[in-house]
Amino acid sequence: MPRLPAVPHLETALKGPLLAIEKKLLAQKSIIESWFRCQFRSTPAPFYASVDLRNAGFKLAPVDTNLFPAGFNNLHADLRPLAINAVQHGIERFCPLTDGVLIIPENHTRNLYYLENLCTLASLISDAGYAVRIASLNPDIQEPTAIELPSGRTLTLEPIIRHENRVGVSDFFPCAVLLNNDLSSGIPAILADIEQVLLPPTQLGWHHRTKSAHFTHYREVAQEFADLIDCDPWFFDPLFTTCDGIDFQQGQGIDQLINQCELLLNDIQTAYNAHDINQKPYLIVKADAGTYGMGVMSVLDPQQLAALNKNARKKMSSGKEGLTSERVIIQEGVYTFETVSDAVAEPVVYMIDHAVVGGFYRVHTGKNATDNLNAVGMHFEPLAFADACIQPDARLNPDAAPNRFYAYGVVARLALVAAARELAQNDLP
Amino acid sequence: MPRLPAVPHLETALKGPLLAIEKKLLAQKSIIESWFRCQFRSTPAPFYASVDLRNAGFKLAPVDTNLFPAGFNNLHADLRPLAINAVQHGIERFCPLTDGVLIIPENHTRNLYYLENLCTLASLISDAGYAVRIASLNPDIQEPTAIELPSGRTLTLEPIIRHENRVGVSDFFPCAVLLNNDLSSGIPAILADIEQVLLPPTQLGWHHRTKSAHFTHYREVAQEFADLIDCDPWFFDPLFTTCDGIDFQQGQGIDQLINQCELLLNDIQTAYNAHDINQKPYLIVKADAGTYGMGVMSVLDPQQLAALNKNARKKMSSGKEGLTSERVIIQEGVYTFETVSDAVAEPVVYMIDHAVVGGFYRVHTGKNATDNLNAVGMHFEPLAFADACIQPDARLNPDAAPNRFYAYGVVARLALVAAARELAQNDLP
């Protein structure tokens, strides 16, 4: 791939309704930042998060909020000090007296992209001034295992052990345990009732968390924010509904799913008409609990669901680690109208503590604007944001890079506020 | 001046005793960072500070700690997000509910270097998400006054007003007031007993603060730190003494001063002998309370003090804003053995909250290694640190740029711990 430009081209730049919204964001920056401070005081943010955004020019919305983010290796090296400082503040907030951090990663031992992420995450914590070691839940890791990475770095995985009510590796049992494993299969027995501070708490794992609960909170947050800056929340908020009792493999519940899809498409069309949007509505159907883009489908015509072939049914049945999806979320598809050399580009924003610490674009040459970019077997080129998303420049036009990045940082933080409310709800007895 | 290299040449690199110290700093990074966390938990850092360092290769020490730092415009633009985040944390710590910050600057209205600093400081606070306006104490500012800066930016100064127990400008009386004025002439009446949060408190102004009190705290901090990493504190700690009752104009107290200088030079020579340093000791004599490099003198031979000409006597008498210096601090001179194209280079490290947010070198072509670089009428070229001082790289040699910058960040934070202890002492009833 040739050298990428710093910022993807936005087809609708400077003419879509988002231009007016971006102007509002710039003009009301102090009010917005004050509102975020107030939100994170009353409901503290989870330790970290990444948010997948879609920018259609007429709508800028989060489509997925990951509370066990990978991909830290894709952030711009120039922004690492920002992440290091945010790590310091996050650890001080949750676990002020710790001197070390144990990371519990996903079980992948051959996914080098993931391991590069893990290595970067560990070095951010080390640079923040904490001892850091990686405790693997993977039964294949029976002794300290050094893995050479394509970047030239070496990552050492160690077998997790439990000693009374603490987990650790060999002689290292620090107060803080950072989960970089989304717990799709539930809470491993070794983590049950440990006395250490788990970041984030295991209740935020995908065995327990649902996308629909997140987007229900998000809807309220978007409404409150829209009231604050006096605009229509639709610009930030993807419509969605859920559907239970689906078994794609056995063909159960498909009629009801088609029915729900028809209804949501009608709602989207009504909103498109109201906002004078001349695009064809589409949907994303995915497991309500789960991650990694498995079991994700774009739906332009609900009747396609009646005629899924064996492969497609199988794909929709296999959530991560072999889970079947019984409940799906049906989400308004948000077009990606940002392109780099004709390839679609989806922004991903990273936050640690309540600070935006950077982001990157997933630039994917083989897909079109309606596809889910985070799909099985996808290959993307990361294009790091050169900008920290916190320095808008009112002298530039609303779509200039620092201002577009600021808008991304604002919408991503709206999703972070929603995640903070999930966290607060989980803390209730 | 031709394009400057990223890092000045250190004449003694890789052979001086500091090499061993830098190795210790790298090897014990987690322990050091843990120690700093503990220090700033028990004695919180002042809102911001800059520390002038000298690097002699055989000694790396702070020579001045400014709690009303100027020069923010000299920091590297790439590191601004770090400063913005630190501002957010600092303001949240001292004044969590404020939505605005009033800056009270120095009275200079024609010093464009200072005004560029002020403009950068204001924009850091604005980018941190706070409304910000500048309230001038200068009686010449009777109405909002816009000043065009060489950088193309415009800075607006407004006359400070008081309304009951709050200060502000026109309709802006926020909870947080940031002092960028070192209060050399005392606390202005308009600031007396205000109910707003003053950052830092007026007691840290130079009318009240003394360099000797700072370096007394610093000595203790350096000793504790040296115990932590098991080394000789002398490597970080400039010897000093004080001398009262000096009137250079009238020639009073000069004999006593010469005597004190002789004694301190002897002490330095003894330390040089003990550390096998083959350099001629020298001293810096300056007002114990004061700033801006006025009344600062290098002393190689104390007898020169007996023969000061009229100009030199006048210079030593005129502290900032016409104060006479009655008490001086006599400080071990620390050679500057860092050079850029044969010009000496003095590092200055900036901190906001307890985070190092960057720094720059004062590169001065017309002075030699023993001169005070921050002298009246001096002209320097700022050379911004390209590095945030928080990412040492153990794979590189101890004097590689990220590692040398890390050492600067450590020593500057030792001075910040000393300043935090001054602050804690001032908070006592």
Angle in degrees, CA B124, B128, B129, rounded to 5: 125
Distance from CA of B42 to the nearest CA of A (A): 12
| Band of pLDDT at residue A377, cut at 50, 70 and 90 | very low
Q: How confident is the model at residue A14 (pLDDT cuts 50, 70, 90)?
A: very low
Which chain A residue has its CA at the smallest distance from B38's CA? Answer: A97
Q: Which residues pair with A343 in a beta bridge?
A: A340
Q: What phi-psi label fits residue B169: left (phi over 0), alpha (psi between -120 and 50 degrees) or beta? A: beta
What burial class does residue A140 get, using C-beta atoms within 10 Å of its C-beta: 0-12 exposed, 13-18 middle, 19+ buried? exposed
Give pLDDT, residue B315.
Answer: 75
Q: Which of A81, A88, A131 sits opposite B391 (nearest CB)?
A: A81
Q: What's the pLDDT at A77?
A: 87
pTM of this prediction? 0.88
Distance CA A384, CA A364 (A): 14
- Give me the residue from A128, A129, A390 closest to B81, CB to CB: A390
Tell me whether residues B81 and A41 touch, CB distance under 8 A.
no
Per-position DSSP letters for B36-66, written without gaps between them: HHHHHHHSPPPSEEEEEEEE-SS-EEEEEEE
**pLDDT above 90 (res A15):** no
Show the tokens assigned to B312: 């030199």
Quick one: how far is CA B1 from the chain centroid?
26
Dihedral over Cα of A179, A181, A183, A188: its sign: negative
Q: Which of B30, B127, B390 sits opposite A130 (nearest CB)?
A: B30
Residues of B in contact with A86 (CB under 8 A): 85
Give me the interface pTM, i.e. the ipTM.
0.81
B249 falls in which pLDDT band (50, 70, 90)? confident
A398 versus A190: the higher-pLDDT residue is A190
Answer whether A86 sits within 8 Å of B89, measured CB to CB: no
Count of alpha carbons within 13 angstroms of residue A395, beta-carbon side = 4
Give the best residue of B82, B126, B395 to mutate against chain A (max A CB count within 10 A). B82
Residue A227: predicted pLDDT: 97
Amino acid at A30: S
Element holding B166 (H helix, E strand): strand B166-168
Using CA atoms of B426, B182, B386, B113 in order, give the dihedral in degrees to the nearest 10: 170
Q: What is the mean pLDDT of residues B330-358?
A: 89
Give the bridge partners for A104, in sequence order. Answer: A179
Local confidence band at A424 (pLDDT 50, 70, 90 cut-offs) = very high
Tokens describing residue A331: 């989400």
The whole-number pLDDT of residue B205 equals 81
A131 touches chain B (CB under 8 A): yes
Read off the pLDDT band of B14 (50, 70, 90). very low
Q: Do A390 and B36 touch (CB under 8 A)?
A: no
Under DSSP, the state recorded for A63 is E
| 8 Å CB contact of B80 and A128 | no
Cα B423 to Cα B68, B98, B208, B219: the distances in Å are 13, 22, 12, 16
Listed in sequence order, the residues at least 6 apart from B390 whose beta carbon sits closer than 8 Å to its beta carbon are A81, A84, A85, A127, B355, B356, B406, B409
* Cβ within 8 Å of residue B428, ≥6 positions away: none
CB-CB contact of A150 with A118 (8 Å):
no
pLDDT over 70 at A375, yes or no: no
Tell if the CB–CB gap between A79 and B79 is shorter than 8 Å. no
Interchain CB contact of A154 with B (< 8 Å): no
pLDDT at A261: 96
A245–chain B Cβ distance below 8 A for any pair = no
Q: Using CA coordinates, name the residue in chain B closest to A76.
A: B78
When pLDDT is cut at 50, 70 and 90, the band that residue B130 belongs to is: very high
Q: Is the pLDDT of residue A309 over 60?
A: yes
Confidence category of residue A202, pLDDT binned at 50, 70, 90: confident
Q: Which of A83-87, A358-362, A368-372, B115-119 has the lowest mean pLDDT?
A: A368-372
Q: Is B32 on the interface with A (CB under 8 A)?
A: yes
B376 pLDDT above the threshold of 50: no
What one-character-per-residue DSSP string does A113-167 give?
A: HHHHHHHHHHHHHHHTT-EEEEEE--TT--S-EEEE-TTS-EEEEEE-EEETTEE
Question: What average pLDDT does chain B have?
Answer: 87
For residue A136, the one-letter residue type is: S
Strands B296-299, B283-287: pairing kind: antiparallel
For chains A and B, CB pairs below 8 A equal 79
Question: How far B31 CA lies from chain A's nearest CA (Å)?
Answer: 8
Range with the poorest average pLDDT among A333-347, B33-47, B155-169: A333-347
Q: What kind and span of H or E run contains B297? A: strand B296-299
DSSP state of A252: B
**How high is the pLDDT of residue A295?**
72
Which site among A28, A30, A98, A385 would you substitute to test the B interface, given the most B Cβ atoms closer than 10 Å to its Cβ? A30
Q: Is residue B73 within 8 Å of residue B152, measured between CB atoms?
A: no
Residue of chain A whose Cα is closest to the Cα of B25: A129
Q: What is the pLDDT of residue B266?
A: 97
pLDDT score recorded for residue B5: 52
B243 touches chain A (CB under 8 A): no
- How far is the C-alpha of A347 from the C-alpha of A22, rounded, in Å? 16
3-state secondary structure of B117: helix
To the nearest whole Å, the CA of B83 is away from the closest chain A CA by 9
Interface test with A, best of B31, B37, B40 (most A CBs within 10 A): B37
From B84, B96, B391, residue closest to A84, measured CB to CB: B391
**From CA A264, how far away is CA A166, in angstroms rounded?**
47
Task: Decide: residue A185, CB within 10 A, 0-12 exposed, 13-18 middle, 19+ buried.
Answer: middle
- Read off the amino acid at residue B89: H
CA B298 to chain A, closest CA, distance in angstroms equals 38
- Compare CB distances from B82 to A33, A81, A100 and report the shortest one's residue: A81
Are B79 and A81 a contacting pair, CB within 8 Å?
A: yes
Confidence of residue B292 (pLDDT cuts 50, 70, 90): very low
Return d(Cα B141, Cα B124) in angstroms, integer: 24
Taking the C-alpha atoms of residue B274 and residue B267, their distance in angstroms, rounded to an integer, is 11
Return the pLDDT at B28: 92
**The pLDDT of residue B260 is above 50:** yes
Range of lowest pLDDT (A185-189, A208-212, B292-296): B292-296
Q: In chain A, which residue's Cα lies nearest the Cα of B99?
A: A34
> What are B305-335's pLDDT values in tens digits?
888 887 777 777 755 455 555 789 999 999 8
**pLDDT tens-digit series, residues B71-129:** 999 998 888 889 999 999 999 999 999 999 999 999 988 899 999 999 999 999 999 99
**Which residues are CB-contacts of A149 (< 8 A; sequence separation ≥ 6)?**
A112, A115, A116, A119, A155
Strands B296-299 and A48-55: unpaired
pLDDT at A134 > cutoff 90: yes
- The residues in B 313-342 lying below 8 A from A, measured between CB atoms, are none
A95 near B CB under 8 A = no
Mean pLDDT over residues A60-89, rounded?
93
CB B386 within 8 A of CB B401: yes
- A31, A126, A391 member nearest B84 (Cβ): A391
State the maximum Cα–Cα separation within chain A, in Å, rounded to a whole number: 63
Q: If you measure CA to CA, which chain A residue comes closest to B95?
A: A37
Cβ-Cβ contacts under 8 Å for A18 (sequence gap 6 or more): A12, A55, A57, A58, A59, A60, A235, A407
The pLDDT value recorded for residue B121 is 98
The residue among A348 and A18 whose pLDDT is bigger is A348
Distance CA A213, CA B407 (A): 48
Residue A4 has pLDDT above 60, yes or no: no
Do B107 and B179 meet the contact criterion of CB atoms below 8 Å apart?
no
- Write down the pLDDT at residue B1: 36
Percentage of residues in chain A with pLDDT exceeding 70?
Answer: 89
CA B55 to centroid of chain Cα atoms: 15
Measured CA to CA, the distance from residue B245 to residue B262 in angstroms comes to: 18
Q: What is residue B336's predicted lDDT score, i.e. its pLDDT?
A: 84
Beta strand B240-243 pairing with A166-168: unpaired
Tell me whether residues A88 and B131 touch, CB distance under 8 A: no
Predicted local distance difference test score (pLDDT) of residue A378: 55
Q: What residue has token string 């919204």?
A: A21
Torsion angle of C-alpha atoms A82, A83, A88, A90, degrees rounded to 10: 120
What per-residue confidence (pLDDT) applies to A379? 62
- Among B40, B391, B393, the residue to mutate for chain A (most A Cβ within 10 A): B391
Checking if the pLDDT of A44 tops 90, the result is yes
Could you give the CA distance from residue B240 to residue B333 in angstroms, rounded to a whole number? 9
Residues in chain B: 429
Cβ–Cβ contacts within 10 Å for residue B384, how many? Answer: 18
pLDDT value of position B208: 79
Q: Number of H helices and number of E strands within chain B?
A: 8, 19
For the beta carbon of residue A159, count every other beta carbon within 10 angstroms: 17
Look at residue A339 and tell me whether its pLDDT is greater than 70: yes
Is the Cβ–Cβ distance between B70 and B180 less than 8 Å?
yes
pLDDT tens digits, one per residue of A136-172: 999 999 999 999 999 999 999 999 999 999 999 999 9
pLDDT tens figures, B262-286: 999 999 999 999 999 999 999 999 8
The residues near A44 (Cβ < 8 Å, ≥ 6 apart) are A93, A354, A420, A423, A424
Cis peptide before A2 (omega within 30 of 0): no
Q: What angle do CA B55, B56, B60 make, to 5 degrees?
A: 45
Token pair belonging to A294: 């498995």
pLDDT the model gives residue A372 = 59
Burial of B21 (0-12, 13-18, 19+ CB in 10 A): buried
B105 vs B233: CA distance, rounded Å: 36
- Residue B386 binned pLDDT confidence (cut-offs 50, 70, 90): confident
